[in-house]
Amino acid sequence: MQAVHFGAGNIGRGFIGMLLNRANYHTTFVDVNDAIISEINKKQQYTVVLADENKQEETITNINGINSKDNPSEVVAAIVNADIITTAVGPTVLPIIAKLLAEGLSERLQQNQQPLNIIACENMIGGSELLKEKVLEHVDLKDKTAFESIFAFPNAAVDRIVPNQTNQELLTVAVEPYYEWVVDASAIKGVKPNITGVTYVDDLKPYIERKLFTVNTGHAVAAYLGYNLGFETIKQAMDNSKVSSLVKSTLKETGNILITQYGFKEETHNQYIEKIIARFLNPHISDDVTRVARGPLRKLGKNDRLIRPAILHLEILNEEPTFLAKAIAAALQYDYAADAEAVSLQEKVKVKGFAGALREVSELPTNSPLIPIVETQIEQLKKMH
């Protein structure tokens, strides 16, 4: 069995690559990072280390790498023969890989009529659907019907904290022990890929929203408030009682929405929250606040972890999302100079003010009730120092 995986980064090697290896796939990693790809081809294996007191190691074999900038035709050939395609490149990179993926899939249509599932493993709602939309922009009109009948793009939710790596070996990746990979079974074409660790569900919405609006909302609160208060890692931020209390209060807000929308039992959801907070406090992981805060323009997007639940809180519960608004206020002030999105955000804030920048980045209407709530929290944040 052949897998093609785009993105040989933290989650690609530390999670997707690991489960594909366990399921006996040969994995071709496609990336633009030449150092990583060269090393994959040189070593033909790498190590995943579980970040807990035992530091158990697992060797991932049966791999090769292709640099898609240098060898796009090799990527096309790999797609023609693939039994599954996965991605973990980041939401903003999906439109970039779409062209080469479309080329590979179009070539495959001529040679191989086997159904194929393409699963985007990104932190976003509707990641695979977005990839499909972007891929279709590059597909000939005459191929579109055949394309739709053979290729499936099931959405997915993936959960495993994989921080930036500081190991001596370039490919080694330390990961938290916990993981979850949920795939929308209703969109699968052909036989469901048999990958131990993948949970197939008929309706992904509750799973992706629960994950994004709990793990990633909580993480974002710790990162933006942590950065605001001068902490370097998520653990340092969470060890601060003000930050951990704000994370918990924010997750109460998102929890109330999720419980109302999806009927999760309150007790079960509270246990889910507790487990996530314990994961943020894992002493065996050092996760920079700047990794978790990365890409504030994306994270302030209208369907992402802060704005979407804040709007649902207003719409469904008819209550002000005070704590989500505080996190949004902190995100708007995120000015890490090495993050291009943070720099761009601060330029917008300089020109348009906080309210103007928020309106633009989060695509809010001028009269959105969220804007004054966030403005109040910007003032409140100043008092936290």
Residues that bind ligand NAD (CB under 6 A): 6-12, 30-33, 36, 68, 88-91, 93, 96-97, 121-123, 158, 160-162
Is there a binding annotation on residue 164?
Answer: no
By beta carbon distance, the residue nearest ligand NAD is 9
With a CB cutoff of 8 Å and minimum separation 6, the contacts of 378 are: 329, 332, 333, 354
Cβ at position 113, least distance to ligand NAD in Å: 27
Is there a binding annotation on residue 13?
Answer: yes
Nearer to ligand 44H, 103 or 159 (CB): 159
Say if CB 95 and CB 15 are below 8 A apart: no
Nearer to ligand 44H, 127 or 154 (CB): 127
CA 366 – CA 249 distance, rounded (Å): 28
| Residue owning tokens 């495959």 | 108
Cβ at position 150, least distance to ligand NAD in Å: 23
Q: Applying CB under 6 A, which part among 21-29, 112-120, 288-296, 358-366 lies near ligand 44H? A: 288-296
Say if CB 105 and CB 143 are below 8 A apart: no
Is there a binding annotation on residue 4?
Answer: yes
Site for ligand 44H, residues 107 to 126, rule: CB under 6 A? 123
User: What are the structure tokens assigned to 201, written together?
Assistant: 């569900």
Binding to ligand 44H by CB under 6 A, coded x per residue (else -) over 207-246, reads --------xx--x---------------------------
Pairing of strands 84-87, 2-6: parallel
Nearer to ligand 44H, 86 or 106 (CB): 86
The yes or no reply on residue 339 touching ligand 44H (CB under 6 A) is no
Cβ at position 90, least distance to ligand 44H in Å: 7
From the number of C-beta atoms within 10 Å of its C-beta (0-12, 13-18, 19+), residue 64 rates as: middle
Q: Would you report the helix, strand and coil content of the chain in percent, each value rounded to 5?
A: 55, 15, 30
Is there a binding annotation on residue 11?
Answer: yes
Distances (CA, A) of 342 to 187, 303, 325, 349, 357: 36, 19, 18, 10, 12
**Residues near ligand 44H, by CB under 6 A:** 123, 159-161, 215-216, 219, 292, 294-295
